[in-house]
Amino acid sequence: MTDRSTKVETEQSNKPARAAAAVILAAGKSTRMKTEVPKVMHDICGRPMLAYVIDACREAGISQFHVVVGFGKEMIIEAFKGVPGVNFVEQHEQKGTGHAVSMCADALKGFDGDVVTIAGDMPMIRAATLRELLGNHAAAGAKASIATTVLDDPSGYGRIVRDAKGAFVEIVEHRDCTPKQREIHEVNPSYYCFDCKTLFETLPKIKPNNVKGEYYITDALSIILGAGHTVCAKTNVPAEDAVGINSRRDLADVSKVMQRRIQNELMAQGVTIVSPDNTWIDSRATIGAESVIEPFSYIEGHARIGANCRVGPYAMVSDGAVVADGAIVGPGLLTAFDAAPGRRQANDPEARQNVEAARRPPVQTRCS
pLDDT over 80 (residue 154):
yes
| Burial degree of 143 (CB within 10 A; 0-12, 13-18, 19+) | buried
Tell whether omega for the bond before 313 is within 30 degrees of 0, i.e. cis.
yes
pLDDT over 50 (residue 184):
yes
In the chain, what's the furthest Cα-to-Cα distance? 75
Q: Report pLDDT digits (tens) over 162-183.
A: 999 999 999 999 989 999 999 9
What are the chain's domains? 12-242 (3.90.550.10), 269-358 (2.160.10.10)
Q: Report pLDDT digits (tens) over 205-225.
A: 999 877 788 899 999 999 999
pLDDT over 50 (residue 363):
no
**pLDDT for residue 335:** 66
**pLDDT for residue 13:** 53
pLDDT over 90 (residue 300):
yes
Nearest to 1 by CA among 260, 300, 325: 325
The full length of the chain comes to 368
Q: Strand, coil or helix: what is 100? A: helix
At how many degrees (to 10) do helices 127-140 and 49-59 cross?
50
Q: Report pLDDT digits (tens) over 60-104.
A: 999 999 999 999 999 999 999 989 999 999 999 889 999 999 999
Pairing, β 158-162 against β 186-195: antiparallel
**pLDDT for residue 17:** 74
pLDDT interval class at 14 (50, 70, 90) = low
pLDDT interval class at 332 (50, 70, 90) = confident
Instruction: Tell me what percent of the residues of the chain surpass a pLDDT of 70.
Output: 87
Q: Report pLDDT digits (tens) over 188-210.
A: 999 999 999 999 999 999 998 77
pLDDT over 70 (residue 353):
no
The whole model's pTM is what?
0.84
Q: What is the DSSP string of 216-260?
A: -THHHHHHHHHTT--EEEEE-S-GGGG----SHHHHHHHHHHHHH
284, 44 contact by CB (below 8 A): no
**pLDDT for residue 4:** 43
| Burial degree of 330 (CB within 10 A; 0-12, 13-18, 19+) | buried
**pLDDT for residue 87:** 97
Task: State the alpha helices, DSSP H only, in the chain.
Answer: 49-59, 73-80, 97-102, 127-140, 196-202, 218-226, 248-268, 349-358
Mean pLDDT of 229-238: 93
